[in-house]
Copies of this chain bind each other. A is one copy, B any other.
Amino acid sequence: MEATMRIGILGTGVVGRTLGTKLVAQGHGVRLGSRTAGNERAVAWAAEAGAGASAGTFADAAAFGEVVLNCTAGVASLDALEAAGRANLAGKVLVDVANPLDFSHGMPPTLTVCNTESLAERIQRAFPEARVVKTLNTVAAAVMVDPSLVPGEHELFLSGDDRAAKGQVAGWLTEWFGWRPERIIDLGDLSTARTTEMLVPLWLRLYQMFGTRLINFHVQRAP
């Protein structure tokens, strides 16, 4: 049996709650953080998710976690992390699940940063003592925690400047969510997060077309 961990999750949307519920079910301690203490959705989640689940501010969640998952909306991530507190992130693995999507002009959204930079790099630059690993941002919440919902082989991508942190995250993806190691592609340093954040518009288009979130990409290649 694997050791249980304390995990701080920033963001009370579908992604944060879905990851949190799965982690609590596995016996981990999870604190779901939001802008304000007593956020209704977070409190309701903590009541339902069972023993090990709690709710608090961004700072509460970040302080609680041995690892922190950024599940906020990308446009709000830097503010949320600022509120979480630099000291509460220092030295910790910060898994960046967010996408910098601007829905203010309707569907399809545009990216607020891309091509020459990524949200993940902005976060790393703003919080140099955090060990940022980008992953999970290319699939829907349900698929993040249960890859078998999408039939056949399909992959997750990892980007990060800290090799050891990426290794830990890859292990957690397998242990927590069932992503087989051969289905996790380490793309390299954090600048490669540009490529996966830029994949999201295609995913969104396919979601619109096919009417299901149970979609992912499989990289086919010659041996």
* A interface with B by C-beta (< 8 Å): 110-111, 114-116, 149-154, 157, 185, 187-188, 192, 194-196, 198-199, 201-202, 204-206, 209-210, 212, 214-223
Given A194-B201, A198-B198, check contact A206 B188 (CB 8 Å). Answer: no
Given A115-B110, A199-B198, check contact A205 B192 (CB 8 Å). Answer: yes
Nearest residue, chain B, Cβ from A194: B201
Q: How far is the CA of A55 from the CA of B222 in the complex (A)?
A: 33
Given A187-B205, A187-B209, A205-B187, check contact A198 B150 (CB 8 Å). Answer: no
Tell me how far the C-beta of A159 lies from the nearest C-beta in chain B, rounded to whole angstroms.
Answer: 9
The answer to whether A222 touches B114 (Cβ under 8 A) is no
Task: Name the contact of A220 in the complex, choosing from B110, B201, B217 (C-beta under 8 A).
Answer: B217
A-B contact pairs, 6 of them (CB 8 A): A150-B222, A154-B220, A188-B205, A192-B205, A198-B199, A216-B221
Q: How far is the CA of A218 from the CA of B197 in the complex (A)?
A: 18
Which residues in B have their C-beta under 8 angstroms from that of A188?
205, 209
Tell me how far the C-beta of A129 lies from the nearest C-beta in chain B, rounded to whole angstroms.
Answer: 27
Given A110-B116, A115-B115, check contact A150 B221 (CB 8 Å). Answer: yes
Q: How far is the CA of A154 from the CA of B202 in the complex (A)?
A: 15
Given A192-B205, A195-B202, check contact A220 B187 (CB 8 Å). Answer: no
Q: How far is the CA of A198 from the CA of B199 in the complex (A)?
A: 7
Q: How far is the CA of A149 from the CA of B222 in the complex (A)?
A: 7
9 interchain residue pairs of minimum CB distance? A214-B222, A195-B202, A198-B198, A218-B218, A215-B221, A195-B201, A154-B220, A152-B220, A217-B217
